[in-house]
Amino acid sequence: MNGEDVARLCRYVQALSPAQRWTEYTPDAWADVLRPVHASYDEAKAATAAVARRQPYIAPADIIAEIRAARDTEARPPPCIRCGLAHPPDNCPC
């Protein structure tokens, strides 16, 4: 995400959590924390919505954890329909 994307994400967070405290420096601080994750705006927005469904305040660390969890879930193969284990379909031990 670039600085503009982080600023948009901050506005989205403000809409989801209006009681959360913000200053003019918040988008810059969030950009410093979120930029190394190399997430797209859409990926970060989806992670933010998932965090907002669980808790009233949203921190960059919560967004990062949600992004990583979503990426981990996407990387796992689906469970085998025969044995229920998560492995590539052409490598079934059953």
For residue 67 the two structure tokens come to 């992004």
The model's confidence at residue 72, banded by pLDDT at 50, 70 and 90, is confident
Distance separating the N- and C-terminal Cα atoms of the chain: 43
The domain segmentation of the chain, as residue ranges, is 3-75
**Under 8 Å between Cβ of 58 and 52:** yes
11-53 pLDDT, tens per residue?
Answer: 999 999 999 999 999 999 999 999 999 999 999 999 999 999 9
Q: What is the pTM of this model?
A: 0.78
SS (H, E, C) 38-91: CCCHHHHHHHHHHHHHHCCCCCHHHHHHHHHHHHHHHHCCCECCCCCCECCHHH
